Amino acid sequence: MATFDAVFVGSGINSLVGAALLARSGWSVCVLERNEEPGGCIRTSTDLTLPGFTHEVLASWHPLFTGSAAYAELKDELDQRGVEYVNTDLPSGTFFPDGSTAFFTTSLEENSAELDRHAPGDGAAWERQFNAFMANADLSFGILGTELWSGAGLSLGRKAYRRLGRKGLLEFTGSTLSTCRDWVTGTFASEQARGLLAPWVLHTGLGPDQATSGFMTQVIAAALQLGGMPVPVGGGVRLVAALAGIVTDAGGEVRTGADAERILVANGRAKGVRLGGGEVVAATRAVVVSVTPTQLYGRLLGGSDVPARVSDAARRFRYGRAEMQIHLALDAPPQWRGADADRLARCPVVHVTPGLDGVSRAVNEAERGLLPAEATIVCGQPVALDPSRAPDGKWIVWVQLQELPAGRVKGDAAGEIDTGDGTWTEALREEYADRIVARLGASITNLREATLKRIVLSPADIEALNVNLVGGDIYGGSCALDQNLLWRPLAEAPGHGTAVDCLWHIGASTHPGPGLGAGSGYLVAKELTKPPLPHRLLARLPGRS
């Protein structure tokens, strides 16, 4: 029986980072992945469309990773292993149906000027908001980088109290609960400014009318201005290979085709994992699982070893809206309509949307089970950053549609598509993709003739690629407030420890939620490698570093 200090289930970014950090600390580590390739949502493919085109099948953009504590700690080693990031000074733009545009750059001055172009005064409003945000950025980013259900979470609260006072803390907390709609309409006069930032809230798993979406919009806007939109040259596969290399070079294993079917528990303590074929991989110090609560408390623990109220809560865990991906290989760069064509082609992420109300309407339609009439099209252009992704003179379009019903499709808000029994058949998938591509074709004038190949992934296809993406929810569970922050994954089991000793829960379903920031893998690795309490107390004595 193979035995390791730690066994990880799943090989997404959180597991790989956690495993790499433990391996660097001298732990023997095994990562078990049921798919044939490691990486989870990082899935780079050179055979998705045509030879010479390198597609990110799922996750594409790495600002959360390059801005993370994990990257700060691993950067030198990742550099040595050939992980090279390219970035831009023009991370995002929005293309509106009337042909107008709005852009967001990495410069405060340029953003002010751009916002003033649409409504004088909006630039100054953004400067005020950004400066106010930065004055407490350590608290805001701290919420997302701290184990909230712990002493560290309490310390963050105390720090906020000392700095802001009782009323200030109340105000700060209240402001984090506001909606994106309230924040953008209260801050900006122009619809373009609102439509520039509101679509970003979709990338946090929320909609613009949900609690905390105003805070998340500000976090993203600040992160875009500070960090741009980096991607790894050659695709995320390079990062996956480098992190896996850290594990294996330290003597650990990254095993693919290894489906964990049961966590083995004895005397209230996790002892290892049983694989589908019956093989047992033993863990002497930790079992760390990057799965949904549904899988953890259902399949992997079989409803035993934890209090019934936890298993019951896990059964009630909610999944969010579903997603569709459209991948296009183009024969030529895109010709965007209008005067800003060149700038739009330089922008890695362009949102095509009527604006704030357009996003709100599409989210609402999806939440009522309908295909939206006018979805927000996230048009990704990776070649604008990394020319190695396509042959010379050619182009890739990576389309993300984040406003689709969770579960069965009940109908079409536009009244055009027959949604049948509501399951994602090939016909439904392609018909909906036709609507999106036709709309995109009204914005990119050469789209139709330049398209060499198109591949569409429905929510069902996305779930088939990664079991954690239940129903095509790419964020590992609804990010509504009652399932987020302190309450993620479950109010009955907050944080990353579990009721079973030595069993840790990480991944998108846990705090700080989805994205490539690797926050949960990092937090658990730090907790596991924390020096014992007497050492920490000794280290505080005068004269000790």
Residues of the shown chain interacting with ligand FAD in the complex, contacts defined by CB under 6 A: 9-15, 32-35, 40-41, 58-61, 64, 259-260, 290-291, 295, 323, 325, 462, 466-469, 474, 476, 507-508, 514-516
Is residue 508 within 8 Å of 492, Cβ to Cβ? no
| Dist. CA 522–CA 516, nearest whole Å | 12
The answer, yes or no, to whether the previous bond of 489 is cis (omega within 30 of 0) is yes
Between the alpha carbon of residue 254 and those of residues 19, 22, 257, 344, 361, the distances in Å are: 10, 14, 10, 40, 44
Q: Name the pairing type of β-strands 2-9 and 29-32.
A: parallel
| Residue nearer to ligand FAD on the CB measure, 240 or 413 | 240
Quote the least distance from Cβ 35 to ligand FAD, whole Å.
Answer: 5
**Nearest residue (beta carbon) to ligand FAD:** 12
Quote the least distance from Cβ 37 to ligand FAD, whole Å.
Answer: 8
| Residue nearer to ligand FAD on the CB measure, 11 or 218 | 11
Quote the least distance from Cβ 370 to ligand FAD, whole Å.
Answer: 21
| Residue nearer to ligand FAD on the CB measure, 66 or 192 | 66
Q: Dig out the tokens for 406 from the structure.
A: 């969770």
User: End-to-end alpha-carbon separation of the chain, Å?
Assistant: 42
Quote the least distance from Cβ 131 to ligand FAD, whole Å.
Answer: 26
Quote the least distance from Cβ 60 to ligand FAD, whole Å.
Answer: 4
| Residue nearer to ligand FAD on the CB measure, 13 or 144 | 13
| Residue nearer to ligand FAD on the CB measure, 123 or 512 | 512
| Residue nearer to ligand FAD on the CB measure, 125 or 263 | 263
Residues shown for the chain: 545
Q: Looking up tokens 């790894």, which residue turns up?
A: 232
| Dist. CA 469–CA 462, nearest whole Å | 7
Quote the least distance from Cβ 321 to ligand FAD, whole Å.
Answer: 12
- What's at 474, amino acid-wise? I
Quote the least distance from Cβ 291 to ligand FAD, whole Å.
Answer: 5
| Residue nearer to ligand FAD on the CB measure, 123 or 459 | 459
| Dist. CA 26–CA 246, nearest whole Å | 11
| Dist. CA 96–CA 116, nearest whole Å | 17
Q: Name the pairing type of β-strands 377-380 and 349-352.
A: antiparallel
Taking residue 475's Cβ as centre, other Cβ atoms within 10 Å add up to: 23
Is residue 40 within 8 Å of 520, Cβ to Cβ? no
Quote the least distance from Cβ 539 to ligand FAD, whole Å.
Answer: 31
| Residue nearer to ligand FAD on the CB measure, 17 or 160 | 17
